[in-house]
């Protein structure tokens, strides 16, 4: 079973990639893709905790994820990612869209090729998961009716208050440009009803395989969404269940 994880050229969220990879690699072939087929680089802010503002203790990558990141980055598929164009011409059983931070956001969130790939995959009603800013790709994809792919979907995403606290919004960790709306506001703007956005409890604790209940995810048919790295274990487990 082949699963795609598209990545930006740089600044992907380590936990939102490593945790799904760790859970999916048993029973699945996890393939990575980047805009140019060159190995991606994780976001250094979340690895070190530097510049994360008041939420630095919460957002900083844990030791276990750092260890797994080293292991993942030494695998063949991470060292040799395919391009977005190659991914578009390949069939996958599932796709996971992780979050990305600051400078690396533009070539990932605004890629027309990646948006075409996601649209094609959604139309086939195959499992797709989006966590944190990965949800913005879905929000920006348009179907044949010119509406967003998530227009009639129930979703969850990063609450805007979390963006404010993470740094100097809108120039902080989660901003892809200084003009944009918060993720919550942008996503709500493409939904049929703003109530379809399910923020969940305050995202201040991280889940784990032994504490999946802490993670907040929303499932709607072939789509599962989550808010941030603290939901990543439950997110990955729910996604894997959809594949089976």
Whether the pLDDT of residue 53 is over 50: the answer is yes
User: Which residues, listed in sequence order, are joined to residue 83 by a DSSP beta bridge?
Assistant: 34
pLDDT digits (tens, 9 = 90+) for 97-123: 999 987 778 899 999 999 999 999 999
Could you tell me what percent of the chain has a pLDDT over 70?
Answer: 93
Contact present, 90 and 196 (Cβ < 8 Å): no
Q: How many angstroms separate the Cα of 28 from the Cα of each of 13, 24, 63, 130, 233?
A: 21, 6, 25, 18, 16
Q: What is the DSSP letter of 22?
A: H
Residue 114 contacts residue 8 (beta carbons within 8 Å): no
More confident residue, 118 or 180: 118
Peptide bond connecting 222 to the previous residue in cis, omega within 30 degrees of 0: no
27-48 tens-digit pLDDT: 999 999 999 999 999 998 889 8
Encoded tokens for 44: 């250094």
DSSP for 139-160? HH-B-TTSSBTTTT--B----H
Task: Look at residue 180 in the predicted model and tell me its pLDDT.
Answer: 62
Q: What pLDDT shows up at residue 43?
A: 92
Q: Tell me how many degrees the CA angle 53-55-60 measures, rounded to the nearest 5.
A: 100
Percentage of the chain modeled with pLDDT above 90 = 77
Helix axes 14-24, 232-243, angle to 10 degrees: 40
Does 200 have pLDDT greater than 60?
Answer: yes
Per mean pLDDT, which range of 15-24, 159-168, 180-189 is the poorest?
Answer: 159-168
Q: At 61, phi and psi to the nearest 5?
A: -65, 135
End-to-end CA distance of the chain: 9
Measured CA to CA, the distance from residue 91 to residue 94 in angstroms comes to 9
List the one residue out of 164, 158, 150 whose CA is nearest residue 229. 158
Per-residue model confidence (pLDDT) at position 155: 98
């Amino acid at each position: 079973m082949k699963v795609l994880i598209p990545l930006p050229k740089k600044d992907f969220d380590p936990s939102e990639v490593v945790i799904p990879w760790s859970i999916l690699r048993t029973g699945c072939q996890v393939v990575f893709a980047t805009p140019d087929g060159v190995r991606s680089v994780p976001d250094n802010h979340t690895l070190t905790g530097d510049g994360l503002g008041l939420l630095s203790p919460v957002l900083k990558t844990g030791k276990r994820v750092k260890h797994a990141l080293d292991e993942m980055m030494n695998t063949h598929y991470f060292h040799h990612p395919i391009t977005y164009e190659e991914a578009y011409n390949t069939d996958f059983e599932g796709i996971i869209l992780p979050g990305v931070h600051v400078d690396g956001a533009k070539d990932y969130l605004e890629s027309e090729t990646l948006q075409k790939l996601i649209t094609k995959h959604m139309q086939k009603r195959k499992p797709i998961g989006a966590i944190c800013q990965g949800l913005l790709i879905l929000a920006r994809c348009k179907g044949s009716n010119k509406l967003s792919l998530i227009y009639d979907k129930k979703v969850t995403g990063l609450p805007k208050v979390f963006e404010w606290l993470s740094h100097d919004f809108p120039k902080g960790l989660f901003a892809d440009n200084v003009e944009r709306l918060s993720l919550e506001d942008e996503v709500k703007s493409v939904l049929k009803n703003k109530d379809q956005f399910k923020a969940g409890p305050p995202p201040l604790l991280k889940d784990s395989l032994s504490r999946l209940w802490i993670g907040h995810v929303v499932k709607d048919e072939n789509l599962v969404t989550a808010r941030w790295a603290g939901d990543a274990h439950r997110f990955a487990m729910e996604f894997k269940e959809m594949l089976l």
